[in-house]
Amino acid sequence: MEALTFEMPYPPSVNNAWRMVRVGNRCRMVQSREGRAYRIRACAQLASVGRPMLACPMRVVVTLHPPDRRKKRDVDNTLKALLDALQHGGVICDDSQVQDLRVLKTDPVKGGSATVEIYPIQ
């Protein structure tokens, strides 16, 4: 099978995608408004592309195109929202299928984006 390639919106940092909220005497981690908005936008973009759901082990290559030239931008903070969107968008069954994950950060583009390539591992 050939690689599946998708263009996705630039994901929010995990620091912005999740929030800790107090419910009674307990604290819960919930998706923030920004995290929910990203998931909706990403899933809508994935829905416009016909693709099979992958249920096999895979290698994922993510090329990040940040929205600006800010120097301090951790690439690992973007992966949680992006992989979760692939799962919720029906591209992969579960992000635990990813056995090889590579991330590249390139020059900024207006609005930011992420190119995702998925290679099934036989």
Q: What residue spans define the domains of the chain?
A: 4-120
For the stretch 18-26, contacts whose Cβ atoms lie closer than 8 Å and that sit 24 or more positions apart, written own/partner, are 18/80
Per-residue confidence of the chain (122 residues) as pLDDT tens digits? Answer: 678 898 999 999 877 887 888 888 999 888 889 988 989 999 988 887 777 788 899 999 999 999 998 878 888 889 999 999 999 888 899 989 999 999 999 999 999 999 999 999 97
Query: Which of 97, 64, 90, 92 is closest to 78 using CA atoms?
Result: 64
Q: Could you give phi then psi for residue 32, rounded to 5 degrees?
A: -75, 170
**pTM, entire model:** 0.85
Q: Which CATH number fits domain 4-120: 3.20.19.10, 3.40.640.10, 3.40.50.920, 3.30.1330.70?
A: 3.30.1330.70
